[in-house]
A and B are shown apart, each in its own frame.
Chain A
Amino acid sequence: GAVVSQHPSWVICKSGTSVKIECRSLDFQATTMFWYRQFPKQSLMLMATSNEGSKATYEQGVEKDKFLINHASLTLSTLTVTSAHPEDSSFYICSARMTSGVNNEQFFGPGTRLTVL
């Protein structure tokens, strides 16, 4: 149980284009989902917290107009990187917390590797 999927697992795009990454909780409902970014040999950095039916909360320094987050249902959150540039190339990881969770545990997706040419 508690499986989270991400799609796509990897994507290569041209500079200036937009890329959408999906995060789905497959067997549970998730009121809250999180988006992280990880650069090579670094730790995970939280980008934003997404709550179903409301606006995402972005961490300091993360451009909300560049990284659009939509959490339209209890099982799906999407991250859209708009006008992507090479410096946006990174490993993006989502996680989901059960609506009925009691210990704040997050369940992580397998990650999406984005390369912007």
Chain B
Amino acid sequence: AQKVTQAQTEISVVEKEDVTLDCVYETRDTTYYLFWYKQPPSGELVFLIRRNSFDEQNEISGRYSWNFQKSTSSFNFTITASQVVDSAVYFCAPSLTPTSGTYKYIFGTGTRLKVLA
């Protein structure tokens, strides 16, 4: 079965600290895409990053970086120098193939990040 685990339910950090959000997933797919989204209190999902499974080069984009390890099925997301505006719920969402049908996102349970001033 496909499953996404975000073990950290809630994290609190002080502004300017770095924070890493963990994501581990299960899949039999050999190629797939991985996404991270942010959901602020307004409720609208905000796209953060996208990664494909056949490129394990880790990247940095501004204050965001990610570490993808296909061998361990992990896709961790790091915010550097966190800010209060980063406070939100963060979802990891691999796009995987179900038993039948089209590719679809499998959402993790989410990690609530609180950045304190």
Contact surface of A with B, Cβ cutoff 8 Å: 32, 34, 42-46, 49, 51, 57, 91, 93, 95, 103-108, 110-111, 113
Contacts and interface: CB of A to CB of B under 8 A. Distances in A.
Contacts of B101: 49, 57
A103 B50 contact: yes
A102 B87 CA distance: 31
B43 A104 contact: no
Interface of B: 32-33, 35, 37, 42-45, 47, 50, 52, 91, 95, 101-105, 107-110
A106 B105 contact: yes
A41 to B, nearest CB: 8
Contacts of A34: 104-105
A106 B103 CA distance: 10
A116 B46 CA distance: 27
B1 to A, nearest CB: 12
B117 to A, nearest CB: 23
Given A103-B50, A104-B103, A111-B44, 15 more contacts: A32-B102, A34-B104, A43-B108, A43-B109, A44-B91, A45-B107, A93-B45, A95-B105, A103-B33, A104-B32, A104-B33, A105-B33, A105-B35, A107-B47, A108-B37
Contacts of A43: 91, 107-110
A103 B33 CA distance: 7
A107 B42 CA distance: 17
A108 B48 CA distance: 13
A53 B104 CA distance: 19
Contact of A113 (B43, B91, B108): B43
